[in-house]
Structure formats: C-alpha cells, structure tokens
Structure 1
Amino acid sequence: PYGWVEPEKYFDPMTYGSKDFGFHTEIGMPVVSTAASVRNMTGDEPEWPIGGAWYHHDWSERGNQAPQNYKAAIAARLGDSGDLDDFARKAQFVNYENTRAMFEAWNQNLWDNASGLMLWMSHPAWHSTVWQTYDYDFDVNGTYYGARSACEPLHVQADPVKWQVLAVNHTSTDLRGATVAARLFDLTGRQLGTTRKARLDVERAATAKAFTAEWTNDLPDLHLLRLTLTDAKGREVSRNTYWRYRDTSALRTLNKARQVKLTGDITKVSRSGDRHELTATIHNRGSAVAAMVRLSLLEEAHGRRVLPTLYSDNYLWLLPGESRQVTLSWPAEACSSRHPVLTAQAYNSPVTTLRG
C-alpha cells in the first residue's frame, strides 16, 4: 500500500495482495514532517488549513496515497487539529507507529516467506507530504525513528495483533544468554502488574519468541508496554515502547495528561574535525509519562535549525524520573554558532532549552 492502513494490517500478507510476504519493494504512506519543514514547503502561501501549497507538494486526495485517510487516522487518535503546529505534533505518532509496524511485520516472519522490505522513496527530490523518512531540508520526523527502531541490529518487539514478544538478531553473531523483559505502565508512570522476563538465545539472522504480552480486561484503555532486550552481561541493547490503546480514541487521553517538566544537561561537546558532536542527558522531572519527546538542535534559542543533524535517539518516551542519554553530530559548516542549543519538547510539556 502507498496510503495509510491500520498498523496491524502490515502483519497480514493479504494487505500486499499476496499470501506471502516475500521481498516487497514498494511500501509507504503520507508523511507530514515537522512544522518548521512544512513552513519551508508552503513558503508565503497559507500554511493552514491544508490547501494550495500542500496540493502542489503531493497532497493528492485523488492519488493512491489517499492523504485524507492519513489525516482521518490522526484525528481519530488525537482529535482534530487547530493549527499546523498541533497537526504536525500529532502526525508523528502515526508516522512512528506505522513505519515501525511495516518493518516489524517482516521481522516477525523473517525467512518464513519474508526476506526484505523497501520503502517507496526515502528522501524526496523536493518538499513533499508523502513517502519520506527524512525531509527535503534534512530534518527528521517520526517515520525515520520508527523505521530505525524496527531495523536496529538487535531488536525486541511485539506484534499489534496477538502481542507475541520476540527478539530479533540481524547480526552475523549468535546472541547467547539474552533477557527479554516486559513492563506495563499507566500514564502516571505507575507499573501495572509485575515485570515479565524470559531468558533466551537468538541465532544470527534469526528471531526467538519470548512470551505473549496479551491484553487483559483490567488494563487501562491507554497504557504503555515497555520492552527491553539485554545481553548476557546485562547491557541494554534494545528498548521499544508501545502506546497500546483499546480503541484509537483512547489515545486522546494524552490531550488531558499531566504536564511534565523536562530538564537536561549537555555533558560533552566536541568541535574537532569537520564534524561537531555533543552528548546530552534528558530528564523527566514530572509526575507523569513524557510522551514522544522531540529533540531539535538550533543555532541559538528560537533560531535556525542545524541541518542535517544525526541523533542517536529521538521521539522518546520517558517515565517519571527517567533519563535518556543522546548523542548528536552535525557537519561543522551546518552551524555558524559555536554554542548551539538543544531543545526538547514532549507532547505534554513546554519546550526546554539546553545550552552547552
């Protein structure tokens, strides 16, 4: 499919018009990027509501990408949008969730009539509203990180149909003595039930089933499933957070979630050579889960984005009191400031600015 479908549909080979997954060479959907990138796209034309400039950049409601279905999916999950910033933030949930599901469907069926999946276009030749993992101006959205999560060399995942949890090993080395753990949380960060664990071995270029993290009637309509994969030495090699909803409208609970406070520290800055790099730690100081924390490097506060910037992780879910270390790097010529700032914003938080 070139248009949006429910994430669980990717796990059904009939979605691709076949009884097998095989080697699938074209898949994609509409992708609305960050608000800043969309403003670059619309230029001096109206940015909202969706109109002329959008249609000129592939928002074709008569084409096979059917962006109206994508827009409806965003509204079904998080409600109608009041402006571009609101729509772009909500779009990242769908971007991330669907793209992760595309590749995790292939992981689940790896080598059982499933050998490969290719996205239809990864980088458009001009500003676009469809079929992109990163933007014409090199900004990155939820699609990029959903794909990268599912495609990491060692990965832990669960399918959105039966919630079978499995570990995936895309490397050339067997993974011995690994541990898969699953924990459930409500939006306050309170753990629901006990941690479930399984110890397993995962052969090279293979998968291994751990257990099923099934739904039960006592679970909230919206909650988090946090999966981790650790190696024999206890080092975390994969972390995957699912927002599970009994009905798509349950995700709207996030619109009423407690506001959280993000803080952070830039612990290391390197300016040697033709690339610059910094390491930062993002903290959730609030009493609720910080949802989809987006990081963005700017030349100065409220200034120009530094593009392209590579982030070791982005669009994070942080539990109350939880921290996450990230590393950023960018070409020296991409930033004229010697002291760029890093911004962090959750769906339920104001913008936090970190300075090195």
Structure 2
Amino acid sequence: MIKHIYHHHPFACLLIGALLTLIHITAYTQQRYELNSGWRCINVKNTTANGNAISQPSYPLKGWMPATVPGTVLTTLLNNQQIPDPFYGMNNEKIPDIYHTGNDQYTYWFVKDFKETVLPQEQAWLQLRGVNYKSEIYLNGKKINPRTHEGMFLRQQYNITPFLAKNGTNRLAVIVYPPDHPGNPNGGQGGDGTIAKGLTHQYVAGWDWIQPIRDRNTGIWDKVFIEKTGGINVQNPHIVTEVKGKRYPGASQEPAVIRVSAELENPTPGEVSGILQYQLEGKTISKQVTIPANSRQEIRLPDLKLDNPRLWWPNGYGAQELYDIKLQFLQGTASHDEETIRFGIRQIDNSWNPQTGSMQAFVNGQPIFIKGGNWIISDAMLRFSEERYDAEVRFHRDMNLNLIRIWGGALTERPEFYQACDKYGMLVFQDFWFSGDCNGRWLDPMKKEDQWTRRKYPDDHPLVVRAIADQVRMIRNHPSLAFWCGGNEITPPEDILHAIKDSLLPALDGTRYFFDYSNSDSMSLNTIGGNGDGPYNIQDINSFWTHKTFPYNSEIGSVGVGDYASLKRFIPAGNMTPPQHRGKIDSVWQYHKYIGYGEHIDKYGPATDAEDFAMKAQLVNYDQYRALAEGFSSHMWHWYTGVMIWKTQNPWTALRGQMYDYYLDPNACLYGLRKGSEPLHIMMNPADSMVMIVNNGFTTRRDLMMEARVYDVLTGRDSLYTLIFNEIGPSMAKKYFPMNGFLKSLHKQSGVFVSLKLKGTDKTLISENLYWLPGADGKYKALQEMPAGRLQVSATHTGRGRVTITLSNPETAPVSFFNRLALIHAGSGERILPAFYSDNYLSILPGERTTIVADYPETFTGKDIRLEYYGWNQERQVIGIQK
C-alpha cells in the first residue's frame, strides 16, 4: 500500500518521508545496546601494528583469540584454556604475576566489529563504563580519545558520529594497559602497597583473605554501549526525594517532594530548543529550555508534590516500593533522547545517640538498627552478572540484614548491584577507594614506601576527584544508597577529603551522610574515647552478650568454612585433610586463608575426616553468628546503634568470613545469622539464661505467647518451663525471665536442648529458637550419643522454580537435629546453585512438622531434580520431587 502511494503520488511520498523521519526521531531514544560479544584480542607483544591500522575493518585478525568483554585479560585467558582455574587448589601459583613479568605480559588489544550508521539529525555515542587501567581508543582508522584514558573508576563517553563508516561497517579497537604500579605481591595487605599509587582497586595485590590476581584485573572490565540520540543527549539525571516527619509502613502518607534534574548536552553547531519533561502518577512536570551549540547545561525541573506516596523501606521494616519515570527531551512530539530511571521515595537521616556514643540512622523518620554485612566484590576477577548480583543480595535479605557495606579496597559497586539492593531493601554504605593498609595508617614493614609517602596515594589527586564526581553521578538515584565513606580505616588525602565534603557531595548529592572513614570517631566512640573494629576470630558465644565493643562496629567477624560439598569444589582430594586444633594445616587450606576454629570443633568430638570436620564446623558457624546477631540486638540503643559483620561473602574460594561460598552455596553461618537477626525474635542469653524478645518494628506487639521448654538430648522428652503472655514496645529489646535456676535443677551433665517459641494470639508461630547446651564440662557429649533420627520428608513442585518441602518427626522419636537440605541434579548429584531455602540446618522436635520453601533458577525447571537431606543424627537420603 505504501509502495503504491509512493509511486503514484509525489506529494504523498514527501509526506510519508517526513512521517518516517519523525518516527525515526521518536524511536532512536530506544537505540542503546551493549557490545558484549564478538570481541577479539591479542597480546601487544604479538603485533607490531598501531591503532590506526588495527581499527581498519580490512585489517586481518588472524591469530587473534576470542575475548571476554566485559571482562579481564585473565578471564579471557581462562575462557580460552590458556591458564588453569586460579580459584582451584594452588593453580594460581602456575600463572605468571605481572610484577615479575612486566606489564607487557597483560597489555592487550581488543577489537570489536559492529554495524551502525546515523541519519543527518542523529548522534552516536560510545560509552565505556570501566577500563582498567589505561586505554587508547580507535574507530575506523582514527583515534577518538584525544589523550590516553586513565583510571579504573571513571566512565568514558565519546561522540563517534563523525567517525562512523558511511557503509555501516565499523571496527572499534582498544588497547588496554595494566596499572603502572601493579605492586609486589609480597604477602602484605595490598602487597607492597604501591598498587594504591594509581586509581585502581587494592585487593588485587593480595590480602589476608585472597591471593594476588595475576593480571591485577587489567581489561575492559565493565560494559560497553553504543547509544543513538537526536541533537540533545540527556545525561546524569538526578532524583531527590524529601519525606518529612515520622512515617509508618503501609499507612496513608502525607505528601513527599520529588526534585528532578539532568544534564543536557548539545554537540551540534546550532542551538536546540525544546521541553525537558517526565510523567509520574498522572502528572507531567516539564520545562522549556534552549541549549546553546556545543555545550552542556544542568537543568532543574519544577518540584513535584506527590500525594500519598508509596515509600521505600529497608528490609524488615516495610515494602520496597519503586517508581519508574522516563525523562525526555522533546521537540514537539519528537523525542531527542530519554532516560528511564527507577527510584524509591524515602529520606535517610542521622543523629548522634548520646546513650551509645554513636551515630544512629533513621529512614522516613523511624529508627533503624543497623544489621549489616561487609561486601568485597561479587567476583575477584570481575565476572559480574545481574543474576549473580541478585542472588548475592537476596542472600543478604534472607539473612535478615538491612545494610551492605562496600569495602574501600575494592570498587564503587555497579548499578546492577544497586538495583538488587533497591529490590531487596538493603541500605548501602559505600566506601571510596582507600585503605589504612595501603594508604599509610600503620607502620608496615611489608610496604615499599614509608607512611608519609603512602599517605599521599594515589599520585594523581585531580584524577581521583574527577572519578569520585563521576561515580557519584552514576549511582546517586538508588534509594538503597544510604551513606558515603571516605575510605576503609583511613581518610583520603586531605585535599581530596575536602573536595568530597565541601564541593562534590553538596553539589552532586547533598542528601546522604558522609563518614570520613569506616571506623572514624564520627561513627562511634567507645568508653575509652576512640573507635575501631574487630575482633575477627572465633569467640566464646557468651562474649557477644557480655563484652561491650564499639557502639557502631563497622567490622566484626569470625569463621566461615563451607560444608563438605563446598570444600570439594576447590580443594583437591589429596589435600582434604581436616585441620586439627594446634595441628599442622594443609598447604591448600593455608593458601585459601583458613582461619582456625580453636577448640570449638573438639567440643563436638575430634574430627575424623574432612567431611566430619565440615559438619561440626557448621554447628559452630550457626552458633557463632546467631550469638553475634542476638548479642548486639540485646543491647540495641543501650550499647549499640548497629553492627557490620566482617564479612558476609567471598569473591573467591576463601576459607573464612562467608555466609555462602564463591559458588553461591550457603553454609550454616547464613541460617544462624538469619535466625538471630529476625525482626521480631525470641532468644536466650547464654551467659545468664535470660529469655528476651527483640522488636525491630515501629509498633507495640501485644498478647504474644512465650513458650519455653527443655528437651532431653537422648530421649527427646520435654519439660515445660513456662507459657506466658506478654508484650513488647517498638524498636527495643526486653528482658522477661531467667531460666538459669531451672536449667541448673536438671543437673545437666551432658547437655540439653532449650526450645523457645513466640506465638500470636491465633497460635501462629512468629519466632522459634532452639539452643543446644553443652554439659558441665563445656562439651557436647550428649550430642555425640544421640540415637538415630526418624525424620520423614516429602517434596513437591509448587510453582515454576519452587519446591515445597515437608519435614515431620514422630512423637516418639528423638529430636531430629541440624538437618541440611539441598536440591541436586539427579544424574550428577551436584547441587543446584543458587538455591534459596526459607530455612536450613534446621531441627525438628518430636511430634512436630515444618514446611520449607526452596526457590531455584527457572533454567533448571523441567530437568530431573532430587532433594538430598542429612543431619547430625540423620543418615543422608535422596528422594524424588512430586509434580
């Protein structure tokens, strides 16, 4: 039909041509795509050609190998089977280290061919979200960055319109140079410290939880995009939400104020006039603007007063409501460009708590007791994905945490990480890229240069300031981003610190509290007048309740060995030797940074082999992290305003400080922490047997039934201690009754179980807790003599990617203690990862029944899946899953 009109009606032809042009103008706002496949690379030593030649589409790529972009050189070499898996065993020792080989070993050319053309009114942009460390960029025989780009934490954008080939066949060539100062990986924290002389992450030279990354993560490590716009490019949108007063989740809300601004760039030789606008809840907010030729301006739109807003709350306090808007630049009905922004409406405030001597956080006017985890990076070799980010943040949500701190020796986390935190309600404490170890806080004989010199790292301060400004713009719209921090255990150099506090953050954000460094006095002060962090080793669980540490502790941690299935993934069979207290540690365990359990394993009986060790380690893991969470919560607002665990995840196969392993398989740390961090939780102080309830919510809970029982370990017979109704006010921990006299009257010699339950007036179970207490000698002799369990288990598919598991224990059976559930492949027996269990490492009392929901990736749906379960007194079983 169109063809017929075009042929016979010249005026109609012109009209349709104009309409098609208009359609194209309104469409190119959607034309942003990633260059994430089809890349090739070669080591700089294997070619003599320069960028002008290599970037010609006709230049032959014979001998070039497939490249992983986004990714690092090491990832590309691994994917091409040029190196062994550095996370397995001691394979990392087989890979040449850049410090010894020189930088050319990991200097590479990367090439990508792509099709693209532009119409006369269009602009094309090349965007690189992260290159480590330096780069020169060529397109179709021309260099497009005027000077060599430097800095891992600095985005790049280039207008490539004049460089595109008219026939649409284009070649992009990027040479990537490693950090100028890769540093000696001499075993120190950050090696010899010189890695910090550049604007890059520090852990790659090695730390006490990781071995060195041999290429120091050189490469085009983050995403590369092509974007097409009209004459105006909308960039760096900024959304600020103002929520006054004290709000309550789920209630009708007073209005909130929304403030929106953006930068508009006009690269054309003429001025462009139009309207910048967005729509929200049926309202259109707009402003007529004119952008001069070859300029960029920040435009602020009129404020929007939004009635009855849906608020965003941290995990455990309310829903995570999110809004989407499209910020557009229009000429008439034609859109030059648009940016889609997802944001949450909330306000975060902070005030000093004189009782605790520490900063206290408020969201939407309500006090938030910080229960946080320390995060290094999702993958030590920067192999990021939305799916992995989502899984890891979900694990933190499942642990009933409400904050993740991004440690300063790594990086500014990616937008995909923040999207997951927005979704799951995790506040984020974002450090900038400094550490006390590399940047000179302490005298350190492992470091090459003295403290005075290291205190001035990095060498290029203006570069750091530009990068901080850029990264703030990148992530500032996320509601989860709660706090900025100058660095890990040290401030940046004084001029950088002043730039951040006095100009950058006030101008680019202005809504979030800035801590000078992660354990600064502005964060908390202990009784002797200073702040700090730690300890980091395993502790007697009583100490979490009785020993007062720093009031807002940014790092406190313990052990975290995974279970046997986890160990087998990266420890060779010949090295599967369980560590014994005061005994020699196997070399592979040492290489993977094993931290000792002391005498805590022996209390359950000496480990007979690695599998037995791993099982007993899970009992210790669970007890440690449950006690940590409960001990801090028991002193909420009296001793503490928050705590951050060091650490809750590992970006490689380490044997310490993790709630789940590198392969996303959880261990008992996760479920002990999940139990101890429940928003409304019943618990017992192990030091004095005082039963308590902690309520993190904002309302009084009345008519709560508290039930306390003691079970004989060997027979499963129970003794009722009390049933009592009680209440608890908002945001508090409250003592109710001690059980010490009752427990002593049992004359326990080999240990007992203590069961605590909290129920509503409708008998609905709200919280339950089972403690296993040792005998008078501090050992768990009764557990070692438990009779075999008689657990009955069934599993049914109840949705796509979901299994419901029912566990029941006969009334005449003993306690079915500490059972591990795992979804596995029927053929290989390997676990399906990641999988998310509503509870795990759980115990079933005699005569009781429990239902667990397990979610797993839908990519496995339809495949043959089985359920594996085993426990302390339960033999390993594998059963089918009903349809």
TM-score by length of 1: 0.89
Give the CA deviation at 1:261.
2.2
Task: Give the match for residue 191 of structure 1.
Answer: 718
Alpha carbons 2:823, 2:868 under 8 Å: kept: yes
Question: 1:133-282 residue pairs with structure 2 within 5 A?
Answer: 133-187=659-713, 188-192=715-719, 194-214=720-740, 215-221=743-749, 222-247=751-776, 249-271=778-800, 276-282=801-807
Give the CA deviation at 1:202.
1.4
Give the CA deviation at 1:336.
6.6
Task: Give the match for residue 577 of structure 2.
Answer: 48
1:11 counterpart (545, 548, 557): 545
Question: 1:60-79 residue pairs with structure 2 within 5 A?
Answer: 65=595, 67=596, 70-75=597-602, 77-79=603-605
Is 1:114 aligned to 2:643, yes or no? no
Give the CA deviation at 1:315.
0.9
Alpha carbons 2:708, 2:722 under 8 Å: kept: yes
Q: Structure 1: how far apart are the matches of 2:609 and 2:827?
A: 22
Alpha carbons 1:261, 1:350 under 8 Å: kept: no
1:294 counterpart (815, 820, 823): 820
Give the CA deviation at 1:231.
1.8
Task: Give the match for residue 283 of structure 1.
Answer: 808
Q: Structure 1: how far apart are the matches of 2:827 and 2:725?
A: 46
Q: Structure 2: how far apart are the matches of 1:106 and 1:291?
A: 26
Give the CA deviation at 1:200.
1.5
Q: Structure 2: how far apart are the matches of 1:198 and 1:208?
A: 15
Q: Structure 1: how far apart are the matches of 2:736 and 2:879?
A: 39
Task: Give the match for residue 340 of structure 1.
Answer: 865
1:208 partner SS: strand
Give the CA deviation at 1:252.
2.8
2:878 partner SS: strand
- What amino acid maps onto 1:6 in structure 2? D
Give the CA deviation at 1:249.
4.9
Give the CA deviation at 1:216.
1.6
Q: Structure 1: how far apart are the matches of 2:600 and 2:683?
A: 23
Give the CA deviation at 1:114.
1.1
2:618 partner SS: helix
TM-score by length of 2: 0.37
Structure 1 unpaired stretches of 5+: 60-64
Q: Which runs of 4+ in 1 moved over 4 A?
A: none
1:97 partner SS: helix
CA gap 1:132/1:267 in 2 versus in 1, 3 angstroms: same
Task: Give the match for residue 62 of structure 1.
Answer: none
Question: 1:85-104 residue pairs with structure 2 within 5 A?
Answer: 85-104=611-630
Is 1:25 aligned to 2:550, yes or no? no
Task: Give the match for residue 325 of structure 2.
Answer: none
1:112 partner SS: coil
Deviations 1:311-354 (A, max 9, x none): 00111111233221100001113x37533111121111111223
Q: What RMSD over aligned residues (CA atoms) do the two structures have, in Å?
A: 1.8
CA gap 1:112/1:337 in 2 versus in 1, 3 angstroms: same
- What amino acid maps onto 2:766 in structure 1? V
Alpha carbons 1:299, 1:341 under 8 Å: kept: yes
Alpha carbons 2:693, 2:728 under 8 Å: kept: yes
Q: What percent of counterpart residues are identical?
A: 28
- What amino acid maps onto 1:186 in structure 2? D
CA gap 1:343/1:264 in 2 versus in 1, 3 angstroms: same
CA gap 1:49/1:112 in 2 versus in 1, 3 angstroms: closer
Alpha carbons 1:262, 1:352 under 8 Å: kept: no
1:57 counterpart (592, 600, 611): 592
Give the CA deviation at 1:287.
2.2
Q: Structure 2: how far apart are the matches of 1:249 and 1:163?
A: 15
Alpha carbons 1:182, 1:227 under 8 Å: kept: yes
2:669 partner SS: helix
Give the CA deviation at 1:113.
2.1
Q: Structure 2: how far apart are the matches of 1:74 and 1:326?
A: 28
Q: Structure 1: how far apart are the matches of 2:747 and 2:700?
A: 36
Alpha carbons 2:789, 2:874 under 8 Å: kept: yes
Alpha carbons 1:156, 1:229 under 8 Å: kept: yes
Q: Structure 1: how far apart are the matches of 2:781 and 2:849?
A: 25
Q: Structure 1: how far apart are the matches of 2:558 and 2:754?
A: 25
Larger Rg: 1 or 2? Answer: 2
Task: Give the match for residue 349 of structure 1.
Answer: 874
Structure 2 unpaired stretches of 5+: 1-534, 580-585
- What amino acid maps onto 1:11 in structure 2? W
Is 1:105 aligned to 2:640, yes or no? no
Give the CA deviation at 1:29.
1.3
Higher relative contact order at CA 8 Å, sep ≥6: structure 1 or structure 2? Answer: 1
Give the CA deviation at 1:123.
0.8
2:631 partner SS: helix
Give the CA deviation at 1:289.
1.3
Q: Structure 2: how far apart are the matches of 1:40 and 1:232?
A: 47
Task: Give the match for residue 128 of structure 1.
Answer: 654
Q: Structure 2: how far apart are the matches of 1:186 and 1:159?
A: 20
Give the CA deviation at 1:292.
0.5
Give the CA deviation at 1:152.
1.0
Alpha carbons 1:200, 1:208 under 8 Å: kept: no
Q: Structure 2: how far apart are the matches of 1:269 and 1:48?
A: 41
CA gap 1:320/1:103 in 2 versus in 1, 3 angstroms: same
Q: Structure 2: how far apart are the matches of 1:123 and 1:249?
A: 31
Alpha carbons 1:163, 1:213 under 8 Å: kept: yes
